[in-house]
């Protein structure tokens, strides 16, 4: 089953995210003040939840999505604490410009949350089209690689950092007509492990989450009769991502962490 779905190309109908003020004495125990967090896929349901979770800790946010209008709809006007950056994650030059803008504003990048991704039911493996295969690997794998290509050198030039990727519970086993999606999300796990092996001695740690189905309006509409008791709320998944980006997760190295009720 899908971990998350692609966000629609048109305007998103939802309330503007309200960022808590971490300086008002109500912040959570994790403190990301003076640290910079890059969130890809920020205009989606999970991206907005992740942005809100980090905002509550005082982080500076670089929020990236392909459609700047969706970012504005989701987060309102840009502020000193959050940049709204339109970039096509399949275009390395655009991603690099967005990351360079982030470093120019905040001077550093401490956390990369690769939230962008998507699901599309496909054909049987022997009938897979080039389009289905390309879509699965473009939105789930190439987007991650391009973000890492831009961010990791900046982390290496600084004080290291944390990378949190989003795979899927479905990555652990193939399902009918989900071969391309499961393979792409499995690649996210393997890339996470490889990044940890390559970077942990240089102060960068990479982990990923394996959500069951994320409880979003799109998924509810697509699966109206599904048992949602095993689904995971975006806010709860964001809390796990926040943990993996924190110093409390210093013992986690290349982990693939299931999130949600596992039946």
Strands (E), 101-249: 111-114, 161-166, 204-211
**pLDDT tens over the chain, length 263 residues:** 455 544 333 333 345 566 655 444 344 458 999 999 999 999 999 999 999 999 999 999 999 999 999 999 999 999 999 999 999 999 999 999 999 999 999 999 999 999 999 999 999 999 999 999 999 999 999 999 999 999 999 999 999 999 999 999 999 999 999 999 999 999 999 999 999 999 999 999 999 999 999 999 999 999 999 999 999 999 999 999 999 999 999 999 999 999 999 86
Reading the block at residue 149, the tokens are 């290509």
Give this prediction's pTM.
0.91
Q: Residue written as tokens 């009769």?
A: 225
Residue 29 CB contacts under 8 Å (≥ 6 apart), including other chains: none
Domains, the chain, in order of start with CATH, read: 36-259 (3.40.50.720)
Q: Is 242 exposed, middle or buried (0-12, 13-18, 19+ CB in 10 A)?
A: buried
Give the Cβ contact number of residue 262 at 10 Å.
Answer: 9
Locus of tokens 């190295």 = 253
Phi, psi torsion values for 9, nearest 5 degrees: -75, -25
| Closest to 167 (Cα-Cα) out of 129, 128, 140 | 140
d(CA 187, CA 57): 31
């Amino acid at each position: 089953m899908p971990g998350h779905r692609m966000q629609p190309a048109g305007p998103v109908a939802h309330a503007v995210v309200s960022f808590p003020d971490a300086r008002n004495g109500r912040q959570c125990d994790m403190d990301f003040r003076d640290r910079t967090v890059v969130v890809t896929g920020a205009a989606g349901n999970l991206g907005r939840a992740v942005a809100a979770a980090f905002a509550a800790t005082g982080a500076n946010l670089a929020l990236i999505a392909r459609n700047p209008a969706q970012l504005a709809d989701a987060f309102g006007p840009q502020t000193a604490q959050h940049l709204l950056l339109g970039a096509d994650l399949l275009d390395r030059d655009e991603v690099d410009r967005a990351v360079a803008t982030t470093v120019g504003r905040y001077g550093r990048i401490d956390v990369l949350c690769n939230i962008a991704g998507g699901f599309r039911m496909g054909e049987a493996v022997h009938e897979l089209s080039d389009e289905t295969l390309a879509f699965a690997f473009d939105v789930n794998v190439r987007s991650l690689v391009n973000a890492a290509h831009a961010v990791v050198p900046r982390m290496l030039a600084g004080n290291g950092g944390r990378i949190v990727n989003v795979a899927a519970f479905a990555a652990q086993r193939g399902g009918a007509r989900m071969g391309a999606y499961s393979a792409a999300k499995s690649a996210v796990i393997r890339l996470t492990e490889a990044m940890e092996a390559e970077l942990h001695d240089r102060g960068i740690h990479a982990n990923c989450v394996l959500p069951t189905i994320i409880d979003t309006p799109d998924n509810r509409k697509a699966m109206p009769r599904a048992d949602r008791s095993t689904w995971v709320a975006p806010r709860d998944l964001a809390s796990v991502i926040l943990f993996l980006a924190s110093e409390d997760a210093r013992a986690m190295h290349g982990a693939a962490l299931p999130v949600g009720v596992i039946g």
